[in-house]
């Protein structure tokens, strides 16, 4: 679990109920149990990033999931109201994400509360892919 020492905000609350995280890109669905959250992955415990990585979904996260880049940018297509509010540092990093939309979040910071199914879409390209010379 990555922690940014420069961010003083408390970690977001963990989910209290089981829920489903659906990956729009592939149609995969993952059942998330609050008592069995992955803790060895990067990002906040219970974050979309940690859940996707735990299930073998590759999602770029150059900073290690500590809210210091925008490479884990995702769209929360459904259920965004059941996630924690973005902190100022997340909003600052999202300014660097390509193709920003109203439902954009950093997967390392986005923690659903379990009250509904979450549908997430990984953008077709990330900032790293755009900035690397090919």
pLDDT digits (tens, 9 = 90+) for 3-20: 676 677 888 999 999 999
pLDDT value of residue 126 = 57
Q: If you search the block for the tokens 């923690």, which residue do you land on?
A: 111
Segment 27-51 mean pLDDT: 93
pLDDT value of residue 129 = 46
pLDDT value of residue 118 = 98
Distance CA 67, CA 91 (A): 10
Q: Is 16 exposed, middle or buried (0-12, 13-18, 19+ CB in 10 A)?
A: exposed
pTM score, two decimals?
0.89
pLDDT value of residue 59 = 94
Distance CA 82, CA 117 (A): 9
pLDDT digits (tens, 9 = 90+) for 59-68: 999 999 999 9
Chain mean pLDDT for the chain: 90
Phi then psi for residue 32, to 5 deg, are -110, 120
Domains of the chain: 19-131 (3.10.20.30)
pLDDT digits (tens, 9 = 90+) for 55-103: 999 999 999 999 999 999 999 999 999 999 999 999 999 999 999 999 9
Check residue 46 and give left, alpha or beta (phi > 0: left; psi -120 to 50: alpha).
Answer: left
Q: What's the Rg (C-alpha) of the chain?
A: 14
DSSP string, 44-110: STT-HHHHHHHTT-----TT-SSSSSSTTEEEEEE-GGGBPPPPHHHHHHHTTSTT--TTEEETTT-
Segment 37-66 mean pLDDT: 92
Q: If you search the block for the tokens 């999931």, which residue do you land on?
A: 65
């Amino acid at each position: 679990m990555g922690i940014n020492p420069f961010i003083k905000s408390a970690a977001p609350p963990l989910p209290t109920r089981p829920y489903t995280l659906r990956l729009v890109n592939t149609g995969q669905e993952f059942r998330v149990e609050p008592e069995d959250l992955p803790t060895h992955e990067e990002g906040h415990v219970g974050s979309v990033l940690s859940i996707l990585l735990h299930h073998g979904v590759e999602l770029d996260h150059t900073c290690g999931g500590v809210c210091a880049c925008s490479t884990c940018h995702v769209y929360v297509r459904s259920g965004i109201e059941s996630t924690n509010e973005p902190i100022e540092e997340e909003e600052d990093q999202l300014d660097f994400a390509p193709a920003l939309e109203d439902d954009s979040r950093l997967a390392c910071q986005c923690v659903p509360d379990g009250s509904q199914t979450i549908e997430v879409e990984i953008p077709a390209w990330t900032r790293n892919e755009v900035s690397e010379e090919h």
